[in-house]
Amino acid sequence: MVEISAVQLNQRLDNFLLKLLKNVPRTRIYRIIRKGEVRVNKKRCKPDYKLQIGDQVRIPPLRVEAAETANSALPKKLLELLERSIIYESDHILILDKPAGLAVHSGSGVAFGVIDLVRKLRPDMAIELVHRLDRDTSGCLLLAKHRQALLAMQRCLQDNSLKKSYTALVKGYWPRQITRISHALKKAHLSNGERRVYVDTGGKSALSLVKVVQSGENFSIIQIEIVTGRTHQIRVHCQAEGHEIAGDNKYGDAEFNLAMRQRKIKRLMLHASRLELPHSEFTAEMVINAALPEEFEQFLGR
């Protein structure tokens, strides 16, 4: 039995259990909720139930040996890489320069993600992701070390006082007059389980602000500030403007990607280059920059 305190107030039941039972597979956690093995105040509850102070949560006995073994086997070299990738850390938050190709979450064939690795690096902290990055996107990734900081940073995202900027290498000459992209976006799940996003007037509003860093006939380098944080927003907005991001195997241009591969570009050329943090209860006002990866260097000044 676990009694809920102010720290867990209004947290969803499923998120509370996922955080508490870190070594238990997600599917197992949702199964014990669905079957009523988890009880709140002796009653069944749905995964989205918001916990209240004083709630008594019953958690059934669970076998976690296999999961613990898997967790202990996290690659040492990858743990060392993540430790070196920390570009800012305080008592409340941690910011990584996430390597391209590393997923933030495990699942769908991914044995472990950034969150699993950082929890291993900081076992005494209640580490949570404040936001996400696509697997193939590198750069600034913000994590919270406790729930209060998580909620505070998420509020800053919602009121746009926490700003996220990206650098991208895109196809063709980007017209300098295109500084604002506001195509609404709609998410779809294909029969094979793949997630796709489309421009659709019936979708959710999305806003990207663009500044040209360098433009040329064959490619341009742009900076994008995302005002909204929709799935694949930058990639789909660039595609909609006819300036697909280099190395994008989902929304990109095949001919442009081939030309980029000939220049040894084997990744999505999208990098979360900057976080602007506001003054808050848990953060001072500051700007955090993640240096451009070396793949971008050959295109700068040309």
* Per-residue pLDDT reduced to its tens digit, 61-72: 886 544 444 455
Q: Which residue type, as a one-letter code, is found at position 249?
A: N
Fold of 72-155: Pseudouridine synthase (3.30.2350)
Six-digit token string for 194 = 């793949």
Q: Is the per-residue pLDDT at 203 higher than 60?
A: yes
Fold of 160-297: Pseudouridine synthase (3.30.2350)
* Per-residue pLDDT reduced to its tens digit, 137-154: 999 999 999 989 999 999
Between these two residues, 113 and 39, which has the higher pLDDT value? 39
| For residues 266-288, average pLDDT | 96
pTM: 0.79
In the prediction, which pLDDT does 44 show?
A: 94
Pick from 249, 254, 251, 97: nearest CA to 167: 97
CA–CA separation, 164 and 156 (whole Å): 11
Where does CATH 3.10.290.10 sit in the chain?
2-65
On average, the pLDDT of the chain sits at 91
| For residues 164-170, average pLDDT | 98
Q: Is 302 helix (H, G, I), strand (E, B) or coil?
A: coil
CA–CA separation, 103 and 132 (whole Å): 9
Q: Which of 75-89, 157-171, 183-197, 251-265 has the lowest mean pLDDT?
A: 183-197
* Per-residue pLDDT reduced to its tens digit, 7-64: 788 889 998 998 888 778 888 899 999 999 999 999 999 999 999 999 999 999 886 5
Are the CB atoms for 131 and 142 separated by under 8 Å? yes
Backbone angles phi, psi at 190, to 5 degrees: -80, 165
CATH code of the region 2-65:
3.10.290.10
Where does CATH 3.30.2350.10 sit in the chain?
72-155, 160-297
Q: Is the per-residue pLDDT at 302 higher than 50?
A: yes
Between these two residues, 112 and 152, which has the higher pLDDT value? 152
CA–CA separation, 266 and 247 (whole Å): 6
Q: Is the per-residue pLDDT at 85 higher than 90?
A: yes
Q: Is 243 helix (H, G, I), strand (E, B) or coil?
A: coil
Q: Is the per-residue pLDDT at 173 higher than 50?
A: yes
Q: Is the per-residue pLDDT at 257 higher than 90?
A: yes
Percent with pLDDT over 70 in the chain: 95
In the prediction, which pLDDT does 67 show?
A: 44
Residues annotated as catalytic (active site), given as ranges: 134
